[in-house]
Structure 1
Amino acid sequence: MATLRISLRAGERIFVNGAVLKVDRKTTLEFLNDVTFLLESHVMQADQAKTPMRQLYFIVQMMLMDPNTIDAARELFEKTYPVMLKTYSNRDIIDGLLEVQELIDRGRSFEALKRIRVMIPIEDRIIGESDDASSNVTEFQPPMRLAAGA
Structure 2
Amino acid sequence: MKISLRAGERIYINGAVLRVDRKVSVELVNDVMFLLEGQVMQAPDATTAMRQLYFIVQLMLMNPTDVKDASVLYAQHHAALLVVCENREMIDGLAAIDELVETTRYFEALKRIRALFPVEQAILAGAATVSPFEAA
TM-score where L is the length of structure 1: 0.83
Q: In the alignment, does 2:24 pair up with 1:27? A: yes
Counterpart for residue 107 of structure 2: 110
Q: Is the helix fraction higher in 1 or 2?
A: 2
Instruction: State how many pairs are aligned.
Output: 130
Q: Which runs of 4+ in 1 moved over 3 A?
A: none
Unpaired runs of 5+ residues, structure 2, are: 131-136
Percent of matched pairs sharing the same residue: 52
2: CA distance, partners of 1:87 / 1:42: 27
Unpaired runs of 5+ residues, structure 1, are: 134-150
Alignment RMSD: 1.3
1: CA distance, partners of 2:112 / 2:127: 25
Larger Rg: 2
Q: CA deviation at 1:89?
A: 0.8
Counterpart for residue 71 of structure 1: 68
Counterpart for residue 12 of structure 1: 9
The answer to whether the 8 A contact 1:62-1:69 is kept is no
The answer to whether the 8 A contact 1:62-1:73 is kept is yes
Counterpart for residue 47 of structure 1: 44
TM-score where L is the length of structure 2: 0.91
1: CA distance, partners of 2:129 / 2:54: 24
What secondary structure is seen at the aligned counterpart in 1 of 2:86? coil
